[in-house]
Amino acid sequence: MHLGVFVLGTGNHIAGWRYPGAADSFQSLPVIQEIARTAERGKFDLLFLGDSLVAGVNDHPSFTVRFEPLTMLAALAATTTHVGLGATSSTTYGEPFLVARAFASLDHLSGGRAAWNAVTSSGAKAAANFGREHPRHDARYEVAEEFVDVVRGLWDCWDDGAILADRETGQYIDGSKVRSLDHEGRFFKVKGPLNIGRTPQGQPIILQAGSSDVGLALAARTADVVFSVVQDLEEAKLAYRALKDRLPGYGRKDSDIAVLPGVMPVIGATDAEAREKLNTLQSFVTGGNAHSMLANRLGIDVSGFPPDDLVPDLPLPDTSHGFARAMLAKAKRENMTWRDLLNLTGAARGHWVICGTPVAIADTLEEWFRAEAADGFNILPPYFPGGFDDFVDQVVPILQERGLFRRDYTGTTLREHLGLERPANRLFPPAASG
Amino acid sequence: MHLGVFVLGTGNHIAGWRYPGAADSFQSLPVIQEIARTAERGKFDLLFLGDSLVAGVNDHPSFTVRFEPLTMLAALAATTTHVGLGATSSTTYGEPFLVARAFASLDHLSGGRAAWNAVTSSGAKAAANFGREHPRHDARYEVAEEFVDVVRGLWDCWDDGAILADRETGQYIDGSKVRSLDHEGRFFKVKGPLNIGRTPQGQPIILQAGSSDVGLALAARTADVVFSVVQDLEEAKLAYRALKDRLPGYGRKDSDIAVLPGVMPVIGATDAEAREKLNTLQSFVTGGNAHSMLANRLGIDVSGFPPDDLVPDLPLPDTSHGFARAMLAKAKRENMTWRDLLNLTGAARGHWVICGTPVAIADTLEEWFRAEAADGFNILPPYFPGGFDDFVDQVVPILQERGLFRRDYTGTTLREHLGLERPANRLFPPAASG
C-alpha cells in the first residue's frame, strides 16, 4: 500500500484551521516542516500539493494565500530525507522548458524525490492573470498531451554519465551524452537541451488526477501515480479498473500506475467521538466559503437553490471539475439536499470522508486495497498537525502490523518507494549488443 | 559596506573546478549549503545567483548544468537564517504572475530575505527553448519596465493585516485589505490579486545589472541593489555617479540604491603566491570554453582572430552583453591581445580580478568604497569552498576591524541588512489623518 498526504497549511477541511490547536497558515515554514517530519515518521511515500493560479478570496483559506509549490517543496527537500515531494504545475499556463527545469532541479535537490502533478487548470479565472482566454476542456488536454511529452523529452536530453568533470584533462562534459530535443509540434517549439543534467530518478515521477475520458487517456499513457476522487467502494473499483484496463493499449501494465483515492480520515477513540469531531468541524463552516467552494467545483452559481431542496439533475458546464460528476452522483444516490452537499464540499471538497476508530479506518482502507479499488491512499487530514498525527500514530501502525504498509523505507527515492524502475533514456537507447 | 557572493557551484573562474579540493558540481545540495554557511559566517548581505535559459555545452560548466535558481534558494531558505537570497529571473521569457508569486513565496519561506534580479535575457539562444524570436535590446527593456511594474503591483495587492484567521468569528480574510490589480498595459493584462499575502519585506528586494542607457533607467527607477561590471577605479566612479545622478529624477536619493561592483579576489599570503594561484587557475583553462564564453559576451564569433593580434575597434551587435563594452574598452586601453582578452574572460567573465594579500585586497576595496565607486561588492570567488573561505576568513576580519563592515547581523531581513525601510503599500495608501 502506498500513502500520500495532501498538504494544505490550514487543513484540508475548509474550516480545519478553527479546530483547537490547528495550524492556521499556509505561508509558514514551521507549519509545513512539521507536516513533513510527520510524513517521514509515518513512512509516507509522498507529500503532495495541489495548486491553482488564482486567489479566490472566499474560497478555502489555503487556496487563497499559499506557498508557491516548487519553492515550498524545495525548502522541504533540504530538511527531509525520504518522503517524496509532489507539486502541481499547469500545462495551460506554463512553459515546458521552465516546468521541466524546475522539477529536474527539485529532483537533484531532494536526491530523487520529485514528482510533477500535471494539471490543465480547470479554473477559468486563472486566465485573467495571464491576459488570456481560458481554453476549453478538450483543447486543454490536447495541449497537455504535447506539453508532457516535451517535458519528458527535455528530461532525457542528458544521458547518465554525461558530466565527467575530469580534473586531469579539463573535460567537463562528454558531448556524446547530451543532445538537443528539436521538438516542433502543434503547440510548442522547443530546442533544448535542458540546462540541468539527468536527474537521480532518471525522470521525476508524474502524477495525474484527471477523471474525464481525455484525462484518463493522458494518465494511462504518462502517469506513475493517479489520484482519484471517489465516494464508495463500487465506484472506486470501477474507476480503478477503467484506468488499469487502458494500460495495455500503451504497452504498460497494472503495476506501472499506483491509483490513490483521496480520503479524509476523521479519527476518534470511539465512533461517537469521531462523529462528534466531524460535527465540530462542520459547525465551523461559514456559508460563504462553502458556497464559493461548491460553485467552483460545479462551475455554476449555487446560491439561489433553497438549502432544503433535493439536489436535482444538473447539466454541468465545460468549466466544472472532473469530480463534480462524482459528487452529484453521490448526492442523487443518497437523496441529498443542497445543505448536505454543501457540508460534503466544505469537509473535503468532494473527496471521500471516513469517520471512525483507528481500527475501523484501517479495516476500510484494507477492504478497498484488497478489493482492487486502490493501490493506496492520498490522505487528506482535516487539520494539521493533530489530524495528521492521529492518522500516523494510530492508523499507520495497524496497517504496518497487518503487513499492508512498510515499517521503514527501503529506498531513498520516490521511484523506489513506489516500486518503479528507473526509466531507460528514450533519447539514448542502449547500443545494440555486438 | 555591503557584501554579496556570486554563487556558481564550480566556481566563478571558468576552470575553478579543476583547482585542488574545489567543488565540481552545480547540481549538489551539500556544495551550495556549504557556500551559504560560509556566507553567514562572513555576515554577508546576500547570496546571489545569475541565470540563463539555455545550456551552452562549451560554456562555463555552471552555465551548462545548474540548479534552477528559485528552487535552489528555497532549499537554502530552510537551512540558513540571515543571508539574503537573490535569484535571477527573466522578464523576456517569464510571466509576471508566476515571477511575483515565486519571489513572494521565497520571501515568506526565508522570513524576508528574497531578492529578484530582473534581467531581460541577453542570450538570443534562449528564444529557441520557448518557440519565439529573441526581441531586440530596447524592445526587451520596454517589456521589462512594464513587467517589473506588474510584479510590484501584484506584491501590493494584499495589505499588511489582511489575514485575520479569527478562530472565534471564522473570518479568515479582511476583504478591505485585498484588491485586484486590474493591470491592462501594452504587453501584459493581469488581473490579480496574487494568491499569497504581503511578504515579510513588504516587497522582495529588486536587483539589477544592466549597464545600457535603458538598463540604467530601469535600475534608477526600480532597483534596490545594482551590480556593476567595471575594471578600474575611475571607470567605477563614473558608473557609480552616472547611476546615482539619475535617482532624483525618480524622486529617489543616493542611499536608496546600493551599487556593488563584481570582483574576483585571488588571495595569497604574499603577492607572489596570489599571482601564482591565478596563473595556476589560468593554466586550467581550455581553449574551447574561453572562446565560447568570449563569443557569448561579445555576441560575435572570435575564433578567426589570431591570438597575438591586438584587439581592434569592433562594432558590437545588439545581442552583445552590456559589459562587452567595458571589456573592449579595457582591452584597447591596455593594448591587450586576443589571448589577453581570452584570459580575462576565462577568469571572471569580464569582471574585475584583484590578486594579492588579504591586506592589499582590503585596501583596494576600502579605496573604492571611500572614493564613491562602490557601496560594497559582489564577491566572485574563483572556486568553492576554498576561494570563498579565504575571503571570509582573511579579508572580512580586516574590513570589520576597520569599521567598514558589520561584525554581526543587526537584523534578520535583507532589507534590514541593506539599511532600507519597508516600503509603503502603493495600492493601500495610508488614510488621511482625521
Residue (of B121, B50, B51, B44) closest to B83 by Cα position: B44
* Cβ pair B240, B374 in contact under 8 A: yes
B270 is in an annotated binding site: no
Hey, what domains does chain B have and what are their CATH numbers? 2-417 (3.20.20.30)
Q: Does B208 touch chain A (CB under 8 A)?
A: no
- Distance from the B158 Cα atom to the nearest Cα atom in chain A, whole angstroms: 10
Residue (of B97, B101, B144) closest to B120 by Cα position: B144
B51 is in an annotated binding site: yes
For the record, the C-alpha cell of B38 comes out as: 560560509
Beta strand A189-190 with A183-184 is: antiparallel
Q: Indicate the pTM of the whole model.
A: 0.95
Rounded Cα–Cα distance for residues A24 and A130 (Å)? 29
Kindly list the residues from chain B whose CB atom is less than 8 angstroms away from the CB atom of residue A95: 93, 130
For the record, the C-alpha cell of B202 comes out as: 513588504
* Cβ pair A172, A202 in contact under 8 A: no
Mean residue pLDDT of chain A comes to 93
ipTM of the prediction: 0.95
| Tens-place pLDDT, residues A245-269 | 999 999 999 999 999 999 999 999 9
Pick the more confident residue, A285 or A1: A1
Query: To 10 degrees, the CA torsion angle through A189, A195, A197, A202?
Result: -30
- Distance from the A265 Cα atom to the nearest Cα atom in chain B, whole angstroms: 22
Contact assignment for B71 to A72 by CB distance below 8 Å: no
Instruction: Please report how the helices A287-298 and A338-348 are oriented relative to each other, as an axis angle in degrees rounded to 10.
Output: 90
| Tens-place pLDDT, residues B259-304 | 999 999 999 999 999 999 999 999 998 877 777 778 877 877 887 8
Q: Which DSSP category does B425 fall into?
A: P
pLDDT-derived band of residue A319, with 50, 70 and 90 as boundaries?
low
Contact assignment for A74 to B75 by CB distance below 8 Å: yes
Closest chain B residue to the Cα of A185, Cα to Cα: B131
Kindly list the residues from chain A whose CB atom is less than 8 angstroms away from the CB atom of residue B131: 188-190
- Distance from the A290 Cα atom to the nearest Cα atom in chain B, whole angstroms: 12
Highest mean pLDDT, choosing among A51-60, B203-212, B287-296, B359-368: B359-368
Q: What angle do CA A143, A223, A354 make, to 5 degrees?
A: 115
> Given this model, what pLDDT does residue B433 score?
45
User: Cell 439536499 identifies what position?
Assistant: A337
pLDDT-derived band of residue B331, with 50, 70 and 90 as boundaries?
confident
Mean residue pLDDT of chain B comes to 93
> Given this model, what pLDDT does residue A399 score?
98
Contact assignment for A95 to B97 by CB distance below 8 Å: no
> Given this model, what pLDDT does residue A313 score?
82
Q: Which amino acid does the sequence have at A85?
A: L
| Tens-place pLDDT, residues B70-92 | 999 999 999 999 999 999 999 99
Pick the more confident residue, B220 or A290: B220
B88 is in an annotated binding site: yes
> Given this model, what pLDDT does residue B434 score?
39
Q: Which amino acid does the sequence have at B138?
A: D
Residue A125 has pLDDT above 80, yes or no: yes
* Cβ pair A232, A331 in contact under 8 A: no
Residue A100 has pLDDT above 90, yes or no: yes
Residue A292 has pLDDT above 70, yes or no: yes
Residue B205 has pLDDT above 80, yes or no: yes
Contact assignment for A167 to B74 by CB distance below 8 Å: no
Q: Does A333 touch chain B (CB under 8 A)?
A: no
A211 is in an annotated binding site: yes
A143 CB contacts (<8 Å, ≥6 apart)?
A91, A92, A120, A135, A187
Q: Which amino acid does the sequence have at A320?
A: S
Kindly list the residues from chain A whose CB atom is less than 8 angstroms away from the CB atom of residue B288: none
Averaged over A391-420, what is the pLDDT? 98
Q: Does B33 touch chain A (CB under 8 A)?
A: yes
